Amino acid sequence: MRLTELASVILRKDIPTFPYNPDHLEKREMIFRMTPFTDINQQGGIWYPDVTITESFQEQRNDFRLTEGIKIVEQFLIDKGVAIKLDEKTDAIFTLLHEEGHWDYYVRYYIDLGKSGNAYNDDNAKISDEMGITSLKKQVQANNELYGELQRVYREHPFEKYADEYAVKKMKEINN
């Protein structure tokens, strides 16, 4: 199954989605992200690679930078009772719904309150600076062993925690 098929079934229809060909990136990476509308970005929505769920799952597991983050997410999903282990489909569902959670946060706490996507990005960056994430991102360039620490701190970012909880809530709704 392709991520585009899965996304068409589980993601809200009011959210712009942008499947992209990862082969067009400088380094073929499976990047999932939510981007708000900003002064320089008029394509706000959810971006994800146009690949199969198997390709996405395998590529992420082949990226040593993500190892600790994957372990954290898997334990989180087990603790929340939505997974016994992180298999391909569960991973894809969680990842897409996690990005939908970012969109929900953006709309609920920014758009609905008259704030901009620029403010969302500014707040995200400010929190990242305060938590040391920005600094860690620079440090990992010289020391690969810091990727685990970066993943642990990143998973604690309030925007990430909201998106994680949102995804779990939606996964429970799907399973019922």
Ordered DSSP codes for 141-170: TT-GGGHHHHHHHHTTSHHHHHHHHHHHHH
DSSP state of 37: -
| pLDDT tens track for 3-39 | 999 999 999 999 999 999 888 777 767 789 999 999 9
Contact call for residues 46 and 37 (beta carbons, < 8 A)? no
- Encode the chain (176 residues) as per-residue pLDDT tens digits: 999 999 999 999 999 999 998 887 777 677 899 999 999 988 999 999 999 999 999 988 888 888 889 999 999 999 999 998 889 999 999 999 999 999 999 999 999 999 999 999 999 999 999 999 999 999 999 998 999 999 999 999 999 999 999 999 999 999 86
Q: For 106-120, b where at least 16 C-beta lie within 10 A, e where not — what string?
A: bbeebbeeeeebebb
Looking at residue 28, its pLDDT comes to 66
Contact call for residues 124 and 159 (beta carbons, < 8 A)? yes
CA dist., res. 118 & res. 132, Å (int): 21
Contact call for residues 69 and 98 (beta carbons, < 8 A)? no
**Alpha-carbon radius of gyration of the chain:** 16
- Kindly report the average pLDDT of the chain as a whole number: 93
